[in-house]
Structure 1
Amino acid sequence: MTPSLLVPFYEHPADRPEAWAALLAAAPALYGVVINPADGAGPAPDPAFAEVAARLRAAGVRVLGYADTDYGRRPHGEVVAELLRHRDWYGADGAFLDQVATAPAALPHHRRLAVAARAAGATTLVFNHGTPPDPGYAELADLLVTFEGPWDSYRTLDPPAADGHCHLVYAAPPGIRPTAPVHCAAPGTGAHPWGTLPHLPGPAR
């Protein structure tokens, strides 16, 4: 099985233990899991997230720490400090940078972030643009999210789906598989669509 699911799951392990157990059971299918305790690493370590992150790593799953870049407006030092907290508190071995700019003018800022993320131990770096960015971003990250949005929009568009691209689709009906090599299609809707899991394969038998 080729790992192809990048799952942003923004629910606390104590509130949804059965969902986190399902993620662990689907480990062979997972490209990675984005952990996001409190719109980032949070103000202090959360033991429940530390435990589930350790279990994911033990199952061979990438653990990506969430950090918002605010389209290049968030100061460099704040983003890097967030990634260091993810590394130190949750053992994150990758980074998921959200709200990444798309224009070429912002490339130098995001290049500095990419270098700092690698130096902080991110062996996997994901840029979530949500829409196709300038081609220059492809050299900075391992994976570019070139679509994030609802299924109704996705099915009317033709977002790029080359190697190194990811599509995150929510409000998706069962059986939907986005065209990008790495993807996620979850049924969640509204302001918190990533509080639901995609349909996951069961453990190998």
Structure 2
Amino acid sequence: MDLLVPYYEHPADRPAEWDAIIAAAPRLYGVVLNPANGAGPAPDPAFVTVADRLRAAGVCVLGYTDTGYGRRPHADVLTDLVRHRDWYGADGAFLDQVPTEPEFVAHYRRLGVAARAAGAATLVLNHGAHPHPAYAELADLLVTFEGPWDTYRALDLPVADHYCHLVYAAPPGARPTTRVRCAVPGGGDHPWGTLPHVLAGA
């Protein structure tokens, strides 16, 4: 259970890829469900079906919620969290665009409490870079790197069990150093529209 998969493609467009993700259930830490840059304005039946299949396979479903680096209003974030729970049965939350600075810790502590109250048994904060240590107590997993492989391989990043590295534009065989990780071949503006190499047979 070491693979966190942010796969941002519609199930109706990529059914075989979603089948591959579900078939890999024993290897998955969780899957980030992102129907419409968040839960969207209404339930999407195709994502409802995928979420049901993931949960039936024992996979943690993490509802994607953009926090705007602390600028998005608390009520809007909470609305997304509740919609993910009610529409897709999400049992976890993936809070994206989380800042690294310590002055935002109190804000994200409140968001974490709200996420737990909304049913998130697993909480992931995506900083994309190494954050202040105070964030560690707020979540189960911190994404402390998100970026291309060429940048990643030149860095000497701290590693801990509660850190995750998400790497794109990665060659076959690329392996981030954290226990929970993901490396995909895609790049550009939409790297998370490609499967991790280990699921694509690369």
> Given the two structures, how large is their TM-score scaled by the length of structure 1?
0.96
Distance (Å, rounded) in 1 between the aligned partners of 2:163 and 2:131: 11
* Residues 173-194 of structure 1: per-residue CA shift (max 9 Å, x gap): 0011100110000000110000
State the distance in 1 between where 2:157 and 2:44 align: 37
The structure 2 residue matched to 1:47, chosen from 35, 45, 64, is 45
Q: Give percent identity, aligned residues only.
A: 74
The alpha carbon displacement at 1:200 in A equals: 2.9
Corresponding residue number in structure 1 for 2:153: 155
Match of 2:100 in 1: 102
Superposition deviation, residue 160 in structure 1: 1.8
Q: Would the aligned equivalents of 2:29 and 2:59 in 1 still touch at CA under 8 Å?
A: yes
> Do 2:20 and 2:199's aligned partners in 1 also have CA atoms closer than 8 Å?
no
Q: How does 1:86-125 map to 2 (within 5 A)?
A: 86-125=84-123
Q: Which residue of 2 aligns with 1:59?
A: 57
Instruction: Map Cα deviations across residues 73-126 of structure 1 (whole Å, 9 max, x no partner).
Output: 000110011010000000000000000011110011000000000000000000
SS in structure 1 of the partner of residue 103 of structure 2: helix
Query: How far 1:201 sits from its partner (Å)?
Result: 5.2
Distance in 2 (CA, whole Å) between partners of 1:149 and 1:65 is: 21
Query: For residue 129 of structure 1, what is the aligned residue in structure 2?
Result: 127
Matched with 1:25 is: 23
Cα distance in structure 2, aligned partners of 1:127 and 1:179:
18
| Conserved? CA contact 2:21–2:199, under 8 Å | no
In structure 2, list runs of 5 or more residues that go unmatched.
none
Give the distance between the partners of 1:101 and 1:169, measured in 2 at CA. 18
Residues 11, 47 of structure 2: 8 Å contact kept: yes
Residues in 1 aligned to 2:65 and 2:128: alpha-carbon distance in whole angstroms = 15
- Matching residue within 2, 5, 8 for 2:3: 5
2:132 maps to a residue whose letter is: D
2:78 aligned residue (72, 77, 80): 80
Q: 1:191: which partner in 2?
A: 189
Q: Which consecutive aligned stretches of 4+ in structure 1 deviate over 3 angstroms post-superposition?
A: none
Equivalent residues of 1:8, 1:33 under 8 A apart:
yes
Q: 1:106, 1:26 → 2: CA distance? A: 36
Secondary structure of the 1:95 match is: strand
Map Cα deviations across residues 150-189 of structure 1 (whole Å, 9 max, x no partner).
0000000112221100000000000111001100000001
Structure 2 CA distance, aligned partners of 1:113 and 1:123? 14
Mark the runs of 5 or more structure 1 residues left unpaired by the alignment.
Answer: none
What is the root-mean-square deviation in Å for CA atoms of aligned residues?
A: 0.9
Residue pair 1:150, 1:170 contacting (<8 A) in 2 also = yes
Which residue, out of 167, 170, 173, partners 1:172? 170
Distance in 2, matches of 1:97 and 1:169, equals 17
1:68–1:99 Cα contact (<8 Å) kept: yes
